[in-house]
């Protein structure tokens, strides 16, 4: 197990203008899958969150290939999570001079890939 964590390479996309709850729905589908499987799943899922997740996944694989010398064909998604980022606060005018607060959430997407065990 200690060798897996040493071979784990990650990529982070910060301040993505999307709710972390909606991004987690996509990340749950690709966690634990191989890189090729994850690409296919993300390609055909109908959610808007797939685009930034795909971008982070490709970045993590590129980091693994260039910085750690790992083969993309043997990579598996070991960790994938979305944390809440800063919330943009806006106001919407309403009747009789009132103002309603609009919250526009952001999130930080982290995807970590590791070499598959060939046992």
The answer on pLDDT for 118 being more than 90 is no
Collapsing DSSP to helix, strand or coil, 99 comes out as: strand
CATH number at residue 95: 3.90.470.10
Contact 111, 26 (CB under 8 A): no
- pLDDT tens sequence across 39-49: 999 999 999 99
What is the number of other CB atoms lying within 10 angstroms of the CB of residue 23?
26
Collapsing DSSP to helix, strand or coil, 54 comes out as: helix
The answer on pLDDT for 84 being more than 70 is yes
- Tell me what pLDDT residue 117 has: 74
- Tell me what pLDDT residue 55 has: 96
Q: DSSP string covering 10-40, please?
A: EEEEEEESS-HHHHHHHHHHHTTSBHHHHHH
Q: Average model confidence (pLDDT) for the chain? A: 91
Distances, alpha carbon 22 to alpha carbons 9, 53, 83, in Å: 24, 11, 11
pTM of the model: 0.87
Q: How far is it, in rounded angstroms, from Cα 59 to Cα 56? A: 5
Phi-psi region of 15 (alpha: psi -120 to 50; beta: other; left: phi over 0): left
Per the structure, the complete domain to which residue 16 belongs is given by: 2-115
In the chain, the number of structural domains is: 1
- pLDDT tens sequence across 29-66: 999 999 999 999 999 999 999 999 999 999 999 999 99
């Amino acid at each position: 197990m200690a060798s897996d964590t040493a071979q784990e390479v990650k990529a982070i996309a910060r301040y993505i203008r999307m709710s972390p709850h909606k991004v987690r729905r996509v990340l749950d589908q690709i966690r634990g899958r191989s890189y090729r499987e994850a690409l296919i799943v993300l390609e055909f899922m109908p959610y808007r969150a797939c685009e930034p997740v795909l971008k982070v996944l490709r970045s993590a694989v590129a980091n693994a290939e260039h910085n750690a010398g790992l083969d993309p064909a043997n990579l598996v998604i070991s960790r994938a999570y979305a944390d809440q980022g800063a919330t943009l606060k806006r106001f919407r005018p309403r009747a009789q001079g009132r103002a309603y607060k609009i919250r526009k959430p952001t999130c930080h997407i982290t995807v970590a890939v590791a070499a598959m065990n060939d046992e």
